[in-house]
């Protein structure tokens, strides 16, 4: 699909970009450029903090509109420029959304132009968080995130990786092209095809997990994330709000999907539970069953002929999601098996108390891990359906068809 196709839903849209006060504010300049390239009209409002990083004039040059920086605009009708602007927007985007800005949005404060605009508008809101990884993972920020999500706010990112302060972790602003793609697929912006998942929150896990043995080695597996990413893309296309919890993979974030990058099974567990409550959970990730008992700070030396690893079980994310008291409408697991596929899959369906399990054979050429195509069979309490070999993108669409059927069964 070309970039123009992906973002054509933005053509003619009136987008209000609210820029928060973080170092990532400079990336918002590129975001304005890309949104305009996609055919949107863009107006920009900045917090006082944002103006410490980038000048209003830079945004004005790129957007073609005066950048708004104050609540009290004497040039606007009735000096209430913020109300006009809040009414004008088809969608409001906050990027970067700092921890402070997220907290003020979650609590409905209106103590500056940006928070007032967000409170005064009836347009859908998208936020792209960016902050230090410890601030992102803090219980207060995660609670604010859950509040915003529950209110229907679309969340894009943050991505995992090096941060400005020299540390690394989840907290990087999603790349401008990811934000544009997410907006293009955002509910309310020119939806295409059936919207039979509209209004539903779906959490999808994808990819492998890496369990670090020491600073240079890890236990991993061959999952590429292709299956889980295809499912997330398909669900978003059909109107769902999708959070994709991704292990270490090299895939672009599907349009309209909020992505949370993780490395280990423990991190995937925490990210999945932070994304709840949800209506549907789809566990397509190949989560490590075991992890080293103790993290080793220094490289393990080659001192003897053999090496025994002391491993302990990881939390079973899928079983815990299915068992939690805030019941989901549907919990879907995957089973990767090399033999006795149907028997093992049905056992997992029962043992983990799932609504649906999708079994696939792994360890074969042209299917399972890494391949672009797959074949699979879905099992539920009193039924099953086979999906013949096909590209994972098509299988994802067919699986979503089945999920919609099971929701309505």
Who's near 135: CB < 8 A, 6+ residues apart?
99, 141, 171
Closer residue to ligand PMT (CB): 41 or 261: 261
Give the range of 28-36, 61-69, 154-162, 310-318 binding ligand PMT by CB under 6 A: 310-318
The Cα–Cα gap between 66 and 94 comes to 18
Report the C-alpha gap between 191 and 194 in whole angstroms: 8
201 is catalytic: no
Phi, psi of 389, rounded to the nearest 5 degrees: -50, 130
Q: Which is nearer to ligand PMT, 185 or 283 (CB)?
A: 283
3-class SS at 116?
helix
Six-digit token pair at 328? Answer: 């989901």
Length of the chain in terms of residues written: 409
The residue (of 30 and 289) whose beta carbon lies closer to ligand PMT is 289
Least distance (Å) between residue 312 CB and ligand PMT: 11
Single out the residue of 42, 200, 227, 395 in contact with ligand PMT (rule: CB under 6 A): 227
Cα–Cα distance, 201 to 328 (Å, whole number): 10
CB of residue 220 to ligand PMT, shortest distance in Å: 12
Residue 234 binds ligand PMT, judged by CB under 6 A:
no
The reply on whether position 317 binds ligand PMT by CB under 6 A is yes
Q: Going by DSSP bridges, is the β-strand pair 383-391/373-380 parallel, antiparallel, or unpaired?
A: antiparallel
User: Does 336 contact ligand PMT by CB under 6 A?
Assistant: yes
Instruction: Write down the residue that tokens 């995660």 correspond to.
Output: 142
Residue from the set 260, 275, 284, 400 that interacts with ligand PMT by CB under 6 A: 284
From the CB of 289, what's the least distance to ligand PMT, in Å?
Answer: 5
Nearer to ligand PMT, 133 or 226 (CB): 226
CB atoms within 10 A of CB 380: 18
Assess 223 for contact with ligand PMT (CB under 6 A): yes
User: b or e along 213-222 (b: 16 or more beta carbons within 10 Å of the residue's beta carbon)?
Assistant: beeeebbbbe
Q: Which is nearer to ligand PMT, 236 or 265 (CB)?
A: 265
Nearer to ligand PMT, 133 or 348 (CB): 348
With both helix axes pointing from N to C terminus, report the angle between 139-150 and 265-275 in degrees, rounded to the nearest 10. 50
Task: Tell the smallest beta-carbon distance from residue 290 to ligand PMT (Å).
Answer: 9
Enumerate residues 129-168 that contact ligand PMT by CB under 6 A. Answer: none
- Please identify which of the residues 201, 221, 360, 374 carries the catalytic annotation: 221
DSSP annotation of 324 = S
DSSP character string of 236-279: HHTT-EEEEEE-S---PPPTTEEEEE--SHHHHHHHHHHH-S-S
Q: Which is nearer to ligand PMT, 45 or 286 (CB)?
A: 286
Contact region for ligand PMT (CB under 6 A) — 47-55, 235-243, 304-312, 313-321?
313-321
Q: Is 202 in the site for ligand PMT (CB under 6 A)?
A: no
Diameter over CA atoms, the chain = 82
Restricted to residues 337-366, the positions that interact with ligand PMT (CB under 6 A) are: 348, 360, 362
Q: Does 265 bind ligand PMT (CB under 6 A)?
A: yes
- Residue 281 makes contact with ligand PMT by CB under 6 A: no
CA 164 to chain centre: 22
CB of 262 to ligand PMT, least distance (A): 12
Instruction: Residue 230: name the closest of 390, 37, 379 by CA.
Output: 390
Among 69, 121, 224, 253, indicate the residue that binds ligand PMT (CB under 6 A).
Answer: 224
Site string for ligand PMT, 90-129 (x = CB under 6 A): ----------------------------------------
73: tokens are 């605009």
Residue 283 within binding range of ligand PMT, rule CB under 6 A:
yes
Query: Is the separation of the CB atoms in 195 and 238 below 8 Å?
Result: yes
> Is 56 in a helix, a strand, or coil?
helix
How far, in whole angstroms, is CA 224 from its chain's centroid? 17
CB of 244 to ligand PMT, least distance (A): 12
The per-type count for the chain, helices as H runs and strands as E runs, is: 15, 19
Is 270 a binder of ligand PMT (CB under 6 A)? no
Tell me the catalytic residues.
221
Q: Which residues bind ligand PMT (CB under 6 A)?
A: 205, 207, 223-227, 265, 283-287, 289, 314, 316-318, 333-336, 348, 360, 362, 368-370, 392
């Amino acid at each position: 699909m070309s970039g123009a196709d992906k973002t054509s839903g933005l053509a003619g849209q009136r987008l209000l970009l609210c820029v928060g006060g973080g170092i990532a504010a400079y990336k918002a300049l590129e975001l304005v450029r890309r949104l305009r390239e996609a055919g949107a009209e863009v107006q920009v409002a900045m917090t006082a903090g944002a103006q410490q990083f980038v000048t209003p004039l830079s945004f004005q040059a790129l957007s073609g509109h005066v950048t708004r920086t104050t609540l009290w605009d004497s040039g606007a009708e009735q000096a209430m420029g913020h109300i006009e602007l809040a009414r004008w927007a088809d969608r409001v985007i906050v990027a970067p959304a700092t921890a402070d800005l997220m907290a003020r949005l979650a609590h409905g404060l209106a103590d500056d132009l940006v928070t007032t605009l967000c409170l005064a508008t009836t347009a859908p809101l998208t936020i792209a968080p960016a902050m230090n990884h410890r601030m992102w993972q803090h219980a207060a920020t995660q609670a604010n995130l859950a509040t915003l999500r529950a209110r229907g706010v679309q969340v894009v990112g943050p991505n995992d990786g090096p941060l400005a302060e020299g540390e690394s972790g989840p907290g990087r602003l999603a790349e401008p092209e990811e934000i544009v793609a997410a907006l293009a697929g955002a509910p309310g912006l020119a939806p295409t095809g059936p919207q039979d998942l509209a209004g539903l929150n779906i959490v999808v896990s994808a990819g492998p997990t890496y369990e670090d043995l020491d600073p240079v080695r890890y236990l991993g597996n061959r999952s590429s994330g292709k299956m889980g990413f295809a499912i997330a893309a398909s669900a978003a296309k059909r109107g769902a709000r999708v959070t994709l919890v991704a292990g270490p993979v090299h895939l672009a974030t599907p349009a309209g999907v909020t992505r949370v990058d993780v490395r280990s099974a423990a991190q995937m567990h925490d990210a999945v539970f932070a994304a709840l409550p949800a209506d549907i959970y789809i566990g397509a990730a190949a989560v490590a069953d075991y992890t080293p008992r103790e993290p080793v700070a220094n490289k393990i030396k080659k001192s003897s002929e053999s090496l025994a690893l002391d491993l302990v079980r990881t939390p079973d994310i899928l079983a815990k999601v299915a068992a939690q008291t805030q019941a989901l409408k549907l919990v879907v697991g995957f089973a990767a098996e090399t033999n006795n596929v149907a028997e093992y899959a049905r056992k997992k369906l029962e043992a983990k108390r799932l609504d649906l399990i999708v079994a696939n054979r792994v360890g074969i050429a042209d299917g399972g891990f890494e391949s672009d195509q797959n074949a699979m069979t879905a099992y539920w309490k009193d039924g099953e359906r086979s999906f013949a070999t096909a590209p994972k993108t098509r299988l994802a669409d067919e699986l979503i068809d089945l999920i919609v059927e099971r929701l309505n069964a």
